[in-house]
Amino acid sequence: MLSRVAESIYWMARYIERVENLARIVNVNANLLLDLPTRMTVGWQPLIDITGSKRLFAKTYDEASERNVVRFLVADTDYPGSLVSSVNLARENARTIRDIIPREGWELINELYLDIKGSVGPGLARKNRFEFLNRIIGRTQQMTGLLAGTMLNDQGYDFLRMGRNLERGDMTSRIVDVQSGKLLPKESEELVPYENAQWMSVLQSLSGYQAYRQKVQGPIRRSQVLRFLLQDVQFPRSFGHCVREVEACLKHLPRSREPLQAIKSVAQTVRRTKLAPLSEKELHKFLDGLQTELGDAHESIQSTYFRHD
C-alpha cells in the first residue's frame, strides 16, 4: 500500500472521530450545567483545556463564555481542531482515496460536510444546538459502522482502525483528566453532593454510562469509573481498549517493530498502574504521561509508514 494512501485513511479516521468527540463534549457539558444548582458557575473553560487550545482561543476571544467556547470548538475555521475544520479535513482526505473506500462512505462524508456547512449557523443557537450536535454524532457513527461493515479487512482497514483508536484513546484520557480535576471547584463543600453528577457526565461524554452500569453493577464511584474508562478492555471507548486495538493492527503490518514497542509501552503503563490511590495531582501527572506516550506512538507510526514514495 502506498504511504500516501495509508496516511489519508489514517487521518480521515482521526478527523471523523474528532468530529464526534467534539459534538459529544459540548452536549454533555451543557447537560451537566443543567444538573447543577443555578447559583453555581462552573463554566466552559474545561472544554478549552480538554482540547489543549488555550493559546489559540485567547488570540480571538477574551473570555471563556458559553457563546465563545461553543463557537470556537464548533464553527471557528481559524481553529484547525474545530468541528468544521475537522470535517473539512476528513472530507479532503477521503477525496484523495475515493477509489479505496466504499462509494457509500464517500457519499456519507459528503453529506456530513454539506449538513454541517448548511446548518452550523442555526446549530450554534442554544435552542437548536442539542439536536444539531446529536445529528452530527449519529452521522459519524453511521459512517464508522458503514466502513466497518463494508471495507476489506486489509492493511487499509488496519490504518483506519489505528487512526480512530488513537484519536479516541487520546480524547478519553483528556476528558477524564480535565473533567475529574477541574470541572467542580474542590474547595466548595456545597458541591460535594453533586460529585456523582460530575462522574456521570464523564461517563456520558464517552457514551459509557449504560456499559458501566452493566459491568460494575454498583454505584458511580471515582475509583471504579477511572478503572472502567482507563483499563477496561471490553468497553470500546476505554483507553485500554483503544491501545489494544492499535496493538492488534500493528501486528498485521510489516516493519512494525518500533511502533509496536511504543504502543506496548503505553499498554503496560496503563495496565500496571493502581489508579484508586492516586491523588488528583498524581492522576493529572499520570494522564499527562499517557498522552505523551500515545503521542510518541503516533510519531513512530508516522515515521515508519508515512514516508511518501
Q: What is the pTM of this model?
A: 0.91
Confidence class for position 145, pLDDT limits 50, 70, 90: very high
Note whether 224 and 216 are within 8 A (CB): yes
Residue with cell 503521542: 295
Q: What is the DSSP letter of 190?
A: G
Measured from the Cβ of residue 72, the count of other Cβ atoms closer than 10 Å reads 23
pLDDT of residue 36: 65
What percentage of residues in the chain have a pLDDT greater than 90? 73
DSSP result, 175-224: HHHHHHHTSS-TT-GGGGGGHHHHHHHHHHHTT-HHHHHHHH-S---HHH
Triad 256, 257, 262: Cα angle to 5°: 95
Q: How does pLDDT run across 45-70, given as a tens digit for each residue?
A: 888 988 889 999 999 999 999 999 99
The answer, yes or no, to whether residue 195 has pLDDT greater than 60, is yes
Say what the pLDDT of residue 187 is: 44
Distance CA 24, CA 304 (A): 32
Give the cell for residue 182.
477541574
- CA-based nearest residue to 168, from 198, 197, 141, 199: 141
Burial readout 6-33 (b: 16 or more C-beta within 10 A, e: otherwise): bbbbbbbbbbbbbbbbbbbbbbbbbebb
Task: Give the pLDDT confidence score for residue 214 in this predicted structure.
Answer: 95
| Out of 76-90, 144-158, 168-182, 285-299, least confident range | 168-182
Residues 231-275 pLDDT 10s: 999 999 999 999 999 999 999 999 999 999 999 999 999 999 999
pLDDT reading at 194 higher than 70: no
Place of cell 471504579: 224
